[in-house]
C-alpha cells in the first residue's frame, strides 16, 4: 500500500458518500454511518480526488490558523490511513 | 389481520421509503427472494435514493445485464452485495440449489467499473469451511472493497439442516485463524467483516442491534417485522404498511414494543452489565431452542438453558460425518431445500 504523500489525491471510496447537510452531515457507507468532528469533516470534504494532500493541508492551515499545522498534518495522516483501512478512502 | 395476497406495488414501496426516511432511517437493504425479479427495481432504487436513503442491493446476480446495471447505477444505487456459496462451482450450486455461481464470477468486472461499493459475501458452514482459504482467494480475485465471511446462523432452513451445516469446534477455531490471517494480509485492500456461529460464542449476538431499536424489515407483502425470523414467535401480531402508518408500527405497535428496552428481561439479563450491549441476544433463537421467547438467549454461557446448546454441539460433534458429496445421490437425503417461492 502506498503511503499518503503530498502529491496523493485522496478521495472517498466507491459507495462512500455524504448524507444530510451542515452540522447533521454524515458519511454513509456499506453497513455504516459516521458523524465526524468538525476538523475531520473539513479534511474529508476536501478529499475529492482533485486536490492533493498538500493543498488540503494548506486549506486546513488557513481555516484553522490557531492550530499547529504540524499537529493537523499528523492527525490528518493518521485519520486518512484509518479510513483507508476501513476502505472508506482511496489514495 | 389478513395480509394482502400480493406483493406491494411500486407506489406502496415508494411510500414505505418516504415514511422510513422521515422516521430517520439511513440505509435501505433491498433483499429477497431476488430483488432483480422486480421489474420496477430501478424505480424503487431511484425513489429510495431521492428520499436520501443509502441504497443496498443484496442479490444473486441472476437477471443483472449490463443495461440493467447501468440503469441502477444512474438511479443512485450505493452498494451491491453478491453472495457466494463455495469456491467450487458444483458444490456452490448444490448448496444453493441454483446455477448462479459462474454468472456471479462474470459480473464482478462490470460491478467494479462503477462508483458503487462492491461486497462479496461468502456463507460458511461445515460442508465448505475446510476450503475457506480458497473461498477467500476467489473473493480476492473479484477485487471487492469488502468481504463478508458469514457463518450460517441457524434459523429457518438452516435450522432444519443444522446437523449437516453446523461446523465442529475445531473447524470454527481454524476458520477464525484463517480469517484473521486474511485480514492482516489484505489490510487496506479488502475490508473483511466476519460473523462467527453464535452457538460457539460465550455471549449472544446483539441480534438486529436490539429488538425494535435500530432496524425493521418490510416483507414483500408489506408486513413489518422486527427481524427476519420474528414470525416463529407465537402470539405476536404483525402490522402491514397498507393498513397502518410506518411510524405508528415502529413506535406503538405491540410487536415492536414486545421486547424493546429491558422490562421484558428475565434474570440473568436483567442485572447483567452486558444487557446494553447484546440486549439479551436473539428472541427467536430463545424461542426455537427453549420454547420461551422471553428466555435469555441460550447461546449465552450465563443462560439457564445453555446446557441445551452444549448438548446440541456435543451431538453434532458425534454425528459429524465426512463432508456430503454433491455428486453422491445419497447426499440429498440429509439435505432439505427451501421450496422455490411462487
Q: Tell me the ipTM for this assembly.
A: 0.91
Interface test with B, best of A31, A77, A88 (most B CBs within 10 A): A31
pLDDT for residue B93: 67
Q: Are B78 and A15 in contact (CB under 8 A)?
A: yes
Per-residue b or e along B41-58, where b marks 16 or more CB atoms closer than 10 Å to that residue's CB: bbbbbbbbbebebbbbbb
pLDDT for residue B329: 44
pTM confidence score: 0.89
When pLDDT is averaged across residues A65-74 and rounded to a whole number, the result is 91
**CB < 8 Å to B119, chain A:** 30
Cβ within 8 Å, pair B78-A17 = yes
Cβ within 8 Å, pair A14-B54 = no
CA distance, residue B186 to nearest chain A CA (Å): 9
Cβ within 8 Å, pair B117-A26 = no
- Using CB atoms, which residue from A1, A28, A85 is nearest to B54? A28
Q: How far is CA B327 from the centre of its chain?
A: 28
Q: Quickly list H helices, A1-91.
A: 38-45, 53-63, 69-85
A26-65 residues touching B, CB cutoff 8 A: 26, 28-31, 33
pLDDT for residue B341: 53
User: Count of CB contacts below 8 A, A vs B?
Assistant: 56
CA distance, residue B305 to nearest chain A CA (Å): 32
CA distance, residue A49 to nearest chain B CA (Å): 13
Which residue spans within B196-326 are E strands per DSSP?
A: 217-218, 224-225
Cβ within 8 Å, pair B26-A33 = yes
Decide if A78 touches B, using CB distance below 8 A. no
**CB < 8 Å to A31, chain B:** 27, 193
How far is Cα B145 from Cα B193, in angstroms, rounded to an integer? 11
**CB < 8 Å to A27, chain B:** none
Beta strands at B117-124 and B217-218: parallel, antiparallel or unpaired: unpaired
Q: Which residue of B has its CA nearest to A19?
A: B52
Phi, then psi, of B42 in degrees rounded to 5: -60, -40
Q: Are B128 and B91 in contact (CB under 8 A)?
A: yes
Extract the C-alpha cell encoding A62.
Answer: 488557513
The residue among B176, B174, B182 whose CA lies nearest residue B144 is B182
How far is Cα B58 from Cα B45, in angstroms, rounded to an integer? 12
Interface test with B, best of A83, A87, A89, A90 (most B CBs within 10 A): A87
Tell me the pLDDT of chain A averaged across its residues: 93
Helix axes B283-290, B306-319, angle to 10 degrees: 70
**CB < 8 Å to A82, chain B:** none
pLDDT for residue A47: 98
Phi, then psi, of B299 in degrees rounded to 5: -70, -20
For A37-45, the CB contacts below 8 A with 24+ separation are A39/A64, A39/A67, A39/A72, A39/A75, A40/A79, A43/A76, A43/A79, A43/A80, A44/A12, A44/A83, A44/A89, A45/A18
Q: Sign (positive/negative) of CA torsion B150, B151, B153, B159?
A: positive
In chain B, what's the furthest Cα-to-Cα distance?
A: 56
Q: Are B139 and B123 in contact (CB under 8 A)?
A: no
Higher pLDDT, A36 or B340: A36
Mean pLDDT per block of 10 residues along chain B (342 residues) reads: 71 98 96 92 98 95 93 98 76 64 86 96 91 91 94 88 90 95 95 91 94 96 95 96 98 97 95 95 95 96 96 85 50 59 51
For residue A57, give the 3-state DSSP assignment: helix
Q: Are B93 and B99 in contact (CB under 8 A)?
A: yes
Cβ within 8 Å, pair A15-B117 = yes
Cβ within 8 Å, pair B191-A16 = no
Tell the residue number behind the cell numbers 439442516, with chain if given. B161
**CB < 8 Å to B116, chain A:** 14-15
pLDDT for residue B157: 83
**CB < 8 Å to B206, chain A:** none
Beta strands at B191-195 and B217-218: parallel, antiparallel or unpaired: unpaired
Decide if A86 touches B, using CB distance below 8 A. yes
For residue B270, give the 3-state DSSP assignment: helix
Decide if A25 touches B, using CB distance below 8 A. no
Amino acid at each position: 500500500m502506498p503511503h499518503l504523500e503530498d502529491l496523493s489525491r485522496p478521495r472517498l471510496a466507491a459507495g462512500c458518500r455524504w448524507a444530510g447537510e451542515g452540522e447533521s452531515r454524515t458519511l454513509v457507507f456499506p453497513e455504516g454511518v459516521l458523524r465526524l468532528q468538525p476538523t475531520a469533516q473539513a479534511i474529508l470534504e476536501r478529499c475529492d480526488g482533485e486536490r492533493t494532500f498538500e493543498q488540503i493541508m494548506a486549506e486546513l492551515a488557513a481555516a484553522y490558523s490557531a492550530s499547529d499545522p504540524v499537529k493537523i498534518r499528523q492527525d490528518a495522516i493518521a485519520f486518512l490511513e484509518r479510513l483507508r483501512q476501513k476502505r472508506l478512502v482511496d489514495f | 389481520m389478513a395480509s394482502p395476497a400480493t406483493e406491494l406495488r411500486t407506489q406502496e414501496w415508494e411510500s414505505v421509503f418516504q415514511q422510513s426516511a422521515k422516521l430517520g432511517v439511513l440505509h435501505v437493504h433491498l433483499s429477497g427472494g431476488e430483488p432483480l425479479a422486480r421489474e420496477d427495481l430501478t424505480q424503487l432504487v431511484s425513489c429510495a435514493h431521492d428520499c436520501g436513503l443509502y441504497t443496498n442491493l443484496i442479490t444473486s446476480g441472476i437477471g443483472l445485464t449490463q443495461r440493467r446495471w447501468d440503469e441502477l447505477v444512474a438511479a443512485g444505487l450505493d452498494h451491491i452485495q453478491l453472495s457466494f456459496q463455495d469456491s467450487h462451482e458444483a458444490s456452490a450450486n448444490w448448496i444453493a440449489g441454483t446455477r448462479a455461481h459462474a454468472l456471479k464470477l462474470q459480473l464482478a468486472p462490470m460491478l467494479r467499473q462503477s462508483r458503487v461499493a462492491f461486497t462479496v459475501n461468502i456463507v460458511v458452514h461445515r460442508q465448505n469451511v475446510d476450503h475457506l482459504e480458497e473461498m477467500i482467494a476467489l473473493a480476492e480475485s473479484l477485487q471487492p472493497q469488502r468481504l463478508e465471511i458469514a457463518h450460517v446462523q441457524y434459523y429457518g432452513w438452516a435450522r432444519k439442516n443444522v446437523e449437516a451445516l453446523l461446523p465442529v469446534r475445531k473447524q470454527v477455531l481454524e476458520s477464525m485463524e484463517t480469517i484473521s490471517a486474511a485480514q492482516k494480509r489484505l489490510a487496506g485492500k479488502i475490508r473483511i467483516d466476519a460473523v462467527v456461529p453464535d452457538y460457539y460464542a460465550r455471549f449472544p449476538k446483539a441480534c438486529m442491534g436490539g429488538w425494535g431499536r435500530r432496524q425493521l424489515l418490510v416483507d414483500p407483502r408489506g408486513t413489518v417485522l422486527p427481524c427476519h425470523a420474528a414470525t416463529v414467535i407465537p402470539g405476536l401480531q404483525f402490522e402491514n404498511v397498507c393498513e397502518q402508518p410506518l411510524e405508528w408500527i415502529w413506535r406503538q405497535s405491540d410487536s415492536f414494543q414486545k421486547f424493546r428496552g429491558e422490562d421484558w428481561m428475565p434474570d440473568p439479563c436483567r442485572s447483567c452489565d452486558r444487557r446494553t450491549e447484546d440486549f439479551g441476544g436473539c428472541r427467536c433463537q430463545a424461542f426455537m431452542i427453549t420454547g420461551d421467547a422471553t428466555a435469555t438467549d441460550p447461546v449465552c454461557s450465563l443462560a439457564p438453558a445453555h446446557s441445551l446448546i452444549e448438548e446440541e454441539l456435543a451431538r453434532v460433534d458425534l454425528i459429524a460425518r465426512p463432508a456430503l458429496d454433491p455428486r453422491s445421490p445419497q447426499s440429498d437425503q440429509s439435505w432439505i431445500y427451501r421450496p422455490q417461492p411462487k
